[in-house]
Structure 1
Amino acid sequence: MRVFFDRELDTVATFWRIYRRDGVALAFTSHDRDLTFGGIRHMAAPGMVPAAIRLTAELANDSAEVQGALNHASIRAVDLAAGLFDEAAIEIGAVDWSDLGHHTLYTGQIGRIEDDQSQFVAELKSNKSLLEQDLVPRTSPTCRAEFCGHGCGLSAARFSSVQALAAIDLDANRVRFAGLDSEAHVDGRMRFMAGPQTGLAFGIIDAQDGWLVLDRPLVAGTLPGTRAQLREGCDHTLGTCSSRFGNATNFRGEPFLPGNDLLARYGQP
């Protein structure tokens, strides 16, 4: 393996690859010209640099961040605002620009992104952050299972449909689909199948007169007629699970447990 920085003057540049959840892959290098290696063309972006990368043998998350000016055609403020880079997978490494020998130093996901309209700073989360997930279930009056996911047992295909967008309201951050039972889709999700936010998952937080209010910003460019995949929602209560879905046997919650304030309650006659 190529050893970097083992000499006084080295032909080394940094590179980073971004794999967005909508299927788009972007690659950049700090070199002053494009480099192609590993079957990927890395575009020259000298203004984008990774900050210090901390790698340890401990279980704690390795820290890193990348920052740069919003002047590259592939990373635009409107795309950052639309959430296209949220939770994207990322690789950072070093490459010898003379013979294209390279080595990946850091892998993880993009976390929090800060944007001041002139430059952006993206926090990076290493793969060790997965070890911080709490896998021990906690008691809850509502169902802990994801709707149509593991533990729920219901079929996602049964409660999913593909609809054509009838109208979009950017100011109120909502969309409308003709003939759709909007109330049944509260707490559900939606994905556009075309347009600038293709593949991005939107949570549906409310229904208003046939409109679906979404949990993340919409951007201009998605036209009426665009197809979207929708899935109904569930409020995770036992009443809904039993009466609407007939799935109480798979309810993953404890709706009848007394609360934490049981000892502080006054006795009732």
Structure 2
Amino acid sequence: MTATTIARAWAVSRSDGLQLGFTDHDGVLSFEGIAFRPEAGLTAQTLVQGLGLAVDNTEAQGVLSDDSITAEDLAAGRWDGAEVRLWEVDWTNVAARRLVFRGSLGEITFAAGAFRAELRGLAEALNRAQGRVYHPRCSALLGDGQCRFDLGREGFRAEGVIESLDEGGARLRLRGVPAHASGWFEHGRIAFLDGRVRGLTGAVKIDLMPAQGVREVELWAAPGAAPTVGNRVRLTAGCDKRAETCRGKFLNFLNFRGFPHLPPEDWLIAPQANRGRR
């Protein structure tokens, strides 16, 4: 019988800079500035790789560990999209290794103390739609390279403190937010700045200013971890992607990426004789 000295080592890096290493070897391996630990309980199914533009795919699974990947962090989305690298390495000489997979975490599920994560290869990005979308509304994201609007301008970001909230944190009452008109932050973002929800964000569904000094905000979905009274938040103004909003609210119509004069869909099926009347 022959014995192999080849082990697998995984490095998982979150967007906030946290980086963890795992290995299926029975001892700690160290390279690239990472300590790959065997006690984390992370394993992986056989890696499926294809030639050309085929999407690499595999799946990782393991047992939740308090000092590595926790159920709370998974629920909060802190591991969504984390970068993943996999090496095959000679554990007797870690300099003898090769990178066999690089990608990111996809859908993550967990139950009964164990998690399962889909791994997506670098070719996954090629599945996205390419080219422009011809639509009356803007196709850019507020503040991106096409929109070019500076969200750091005065009046388009504001900070406040949670005064009260419903269970789960989908509805918040905020103090200290400037008295912008109701709806100013609808379609915008909220970022949690401290506490157990620090670093989490959400999308604003409803924004109301019912009383002086109080702002009521409802999110499309509650954050993965529950905020608490006293947590600080930052609101960013939202855009509904209409030409009127771009022109009147942001004074940014020169960068509008929609087609506001495009005929509506019913024009295409209207009788030929009626088209000239529009």
> Same fold by TM (over 0.5)?
yes
Q: Equivalent residue for 2:253?
A: 248
Q: Equivalent residue for 1:206?
A: 206
2:230 pairs with 222, 225, 233, which one? Answer: 225
Q: Letter of the aligned partner of 2:135 in structure 1?
A: S
Q: For structure 1, which segment, 208-217 or 156-165, has the greater mean C-alpha deviation from structure 2 after superposition?
A: 208-217
Deviations 1:120-177 (A, max 9, x none): 2111111112222223001011111111222223211012234334334333523332
Question: Is 1:104 the counterpart of 2:99 in the alignment?
Answer: yes
Question: What is the deviation of 1:221?
Answer: 6.1
Q: Equivalent residue for 2:149?
A: 154
Question: Is 1:124 the counterpart of 2:119 in the alignment?
Answer: yes
Distance 1:194 1:103 in 2: 40
Contact 2:40–2:65 (Cα < 8 Å) also in 1: no
Distance 2:148 2:224 in 1: 35
Q: Secondary structure at 1:21's aligned position in 2?
A: coil
Q: How has the CA–CA distance of structure 1 residues 72 and 137 changed in structure 2, closer, same or farther, with 3 Å as cutoff?
A: same
Map 1:46-195 onto structure 2 (within 5 A): 47-71=41-65, 73-101=67-95, 102-158=97-153, 159-171=156-168, 173-180=170-177, 181=180, 183-195=183-195
Question: What is the deviation of 1:72?
Answer: 5.2
Q: How has the CA–CA distance of structure 1 residues 78 and 53 changed in structure 2, closer, same or farther, with 3 Å as cutoff?
A: same
Distance 2:168 2:228 in 1: 15
Distance 1:255 1:99 in 2: 63
Question: What is the deviation of 1:91?
Answer: 1.0
Question: What is the deviation of 1:256?
Answer: 2.2
Deviations 1:37-64 (A, max 9, x none): 2211222236321111122231122111
Q: How has the CA–CA distance of structure 1 residues 197 and 179 changed in structure 2, closer, same or farther, with 3 Å as cutoff?
A: closer
Unaligned runs of 5+ in 1: 1-6
Q: Secondary structure at 1:100's aligned position in 2?
A: strand
2:20 pairs with 20, 26, 51, which one? Answer: 26
Question: What is the deviation of 1:80?
Answer: 0.9
Question: Is 1:36 the counterpart of 2:41 in the alignment?
Answer: no
Identity %: 31
Q: How has the CA–CA distance of structure 1 residues 171 and 223 changed in structure 2, closer, same or farther, with 3 Å as cutoff?
A: closer
Q: Secondary structure at 2:245's aligned position in 1?
A: helix
Distance 2:167 2:67 in 1: 24
Distance 2:269 2:225 in 1: 53
Distance 2:31 2:200 in 1: 29
Q: Secondary structure at 2:229's aligned position in 1?
A: coil
Q: Secondary structure at 1:196's aligned position in 2?
A: helix
Q: How has the CA–CA distance of structure 1 residues 125 and 254 changed in structure 2, closer, same or farther, with 3 Å as cutoff?
A: same
Q: Letter of the aligned partner of 2:50 in structure 1?
A: T
Question: What is the deviation of 1:236?
Answer: 0.6
1:16 pairs with 10, 17, 35, which one? Answer: 10
Distance 2:34 2:260 in 1: 52
Contact 2:140–2:146 (Cα < 8 Å) also in 1: yes
Q: For structure 1, which segment, 235-244 or 68-77, has the greater mean C-alpha deviation from structure 2 after superposition?
A: 68-77
